[in-house]
Structure 1
Amino acid sequence: MRYFIELSYRGTAYHGWQTQANGISVQSTLEAALTQRLGTPIYVMGSGRTDAGVHAQQQFAHFDVPEPLPLTETFLYSLNCILPEDIAIHRIVAVPEKAHARFSAISRYYQYHITRHKSAFHSGLTLHFRPLLQIEKMNAACQILLQHTDFQSFAKARADVTNFHCRLDFAYWSYTNDDCLTFHIKANRFLWGMVRTIVGTMIDIGQDRLSLDRFEQIILARDRNVAGRAAPANGLYLVEVGYPADIRQAFGKGPGAKG
């Protein structure tokens, strides 16, 4: 049987989502908890790979087991007790056999948070950036971004992909509150390092260090070397993963846990 997990995590302590040899990952931590609770080796596949230090308000992963699981609130609570405080499982549901956390996903929505004032409670959770940014000009850059589909200029040079095309649904900046400036972007897929590089380049626009004409030239160049520096990981959040109706319906049937 195949199950989807909906979870969230603070990425500060992890070397990204994917299991790797040189550090602790969210994936390996989740697999260890499931293996301990179920008494058999469990391997999970995530909807996408977040970089080291990136957070997720909503992430999905799937795993397979030979027998049905006891999907009760007590079962979910016991898993959350095994996991560290910075990873939380919200629900586990049975899904169709061919449902795939990564390949069945039809959209991903990210946010990037910037605060101007230092906060004892936001350390590691936002980019603390003091200069005042021109949000109108940055939103004008978003309108240019939405006219394009090839984002090779914003992908890491070592990105192992067959193409650099992404279909953007929206991209804009807004003030979440008086102090927090948030970048919103949703697409069918994202390239490795894409959102952070777009943010870093738009910060230059917001400081009048880069013109809108030059921004479009950067997109058309399809060359990572001409774009700005990637913004730090700590301000980036995966906030929503979209799936087709049959998978969404499955999530409406299973129990959920917030504890």
Structure 2
Amino acid sequence: MRYFIELSYRGTAYHGWQTQANGVSVQITLEAALSQRLGKPIYIMGSGRTDAGVHAKQQFAHFDVEEPLNLTESLIYSINCMLPEDIAIHAIFPVSDKTHARFSAVSRYYQYHITRQKDAFQGTLTYHFRPHLDIDRMNEACKLLLQHTNFQSFSKARANVTHFNCQLDFAYWDYTNADCLTFHIKANRFLWGMVRTIVGTMLEIGQARMSLGQFEEIILARDRTVAGRAAPANGLYLMEVGYPAQVFAQRA
């Protein structure tokens, strides 16, 4: 039997999603709680990796067990009680044994949050950035971004992938409120470090330190060394993972 887990987490305390040799990850923390509650070793596969310090409003993972689970509210409640307060399971539901948390996903949607004012309660959840940013110029850069599919210039140099093509659905900046600027981007897939590097490069554009022509040259160069530095992890959120409708057919 294969089951999907829908969860969210605050990534501040973790060395990313994936199990690490040098630190605590979200994956290993979740596996430990599931294994304890179900009384057998449980190994999970996530829809994708998030880097150290990155958050997820919605993440999915799957795991396999030999016998069907008794899916009750008390089961989820008990597992949540075993988890630290910065990881929360929202649902567990059966899926086809051919459904895969990573490979069945058809889209991912990320947001990056920037605040102009320092906030004592949001410091690990947003990027405090004081310089003035021209949001119109940054949105012009987004239009250029949408005209391309190869984003090698925004991928970490040692990314182990067969290609650097991503099909973007949208990319734009807006103001959540007077002090909070948010970048929205959705695509079928993302490269390692891609969103944070795009944000870091666009901050150069927003400060008029890079022209739109230079931005397009960076895209066409297909060379990570010519792009801007990556924005800090604390402002990045995985907001939504999309799947075909049939994946949720057995969800209560």
Q: TM-score, normalised by structure 2?
A: 0.99
Distance in 1 (CA, whole Å) between partners of 2:121 and 2:23 is 26
Distance in 1 (CA, whole Å) between partners of 2:198 and 2:178 is 23
* Aligned AA (1:27): Q
Distance in 2 (CA, whole Å) between partners of 1:208 and 1:112 is 20
* Aligned AA (1:155): S
Partner of 1:91: 91
Distance in 1 (CA, whole Å) between partners of 2:214 and 2:20 is 38
Give the root-mean-square deviation of aligned CA atoms: 0.6
Distance in 2 (CA, whole Å) between partners of 1:200 and 1:90 is 32
Distance in 1 (CA, whole Å) between partners of 2:59 and 2:77 is 18
Matches for 1:46-65 after TM superposition, within 5 Å: 46-65=46-65
Partner of 2:6: 6
* Aligned AA (2:63): F
Distance in 1 (CA, whole Å) between partners of 2:205 and 2:230 is 14
Partner of 1:162: 162
* Aligned AA (1:42): I
* Aligned AA (2:175): Y
Offset of residue 97 of structure 1: 1.1
Partner of 2:118: 118
Assess if the C-alpha contact under 8 Å between 2:12 and 2:55 holds in 1.
yes
Distance in 2 (CA, whole Å) between partners of 1:131 and 1:116 is 8
Matches for 1:1-259 after TM superposition, within 5 Å: 1-250=1-250, 253-254=251-252
Distance in 2 (CA, whole Å) between partners of 1:112 and 1:87 is 20
Distance in 1 (CA, whole Å) between partners of 2:112 and 2:171 is 11
Consecutive unaligned residues of structure 1, counting only runs of 5 or more, are 255-259
4+ runs of 1 displaced by more than 4 Å?
none
SS of the counterpart of 1:62?
Answer: strand
Distance in 2 (CA, whole Å) between partners of 1:163 and 1:144 is 21
Distance in 2 (CA, whole Å) between partners of 1:139 and 1:244 is 30
Distance in 2 (CA, whole Å) between partners of 1:135 and 1:123 is 22
SS of the counterpart of 2:177?
Answer: coil
Distance in 1 (CA, whole Å) between partners of 2:228 and 2:119 is 27
Distance in 2 (CA, whole Å) between partners of 1:178 and 1:101 is 37
- Kindly provide the CA deviation profile for residues 157-197 of structure 1, in whole angstroms up to 9, marking residues without a partner as x: 00000000000000000101111100000000000000000
- Kindly provide the CA deviation profile for residues 81-111 of structure 1, in whole angstroms up to 9, marking residues without a partner as x: 0000000000000011100000000000000
SS of the counterpart of 2:249?
Answer: helix
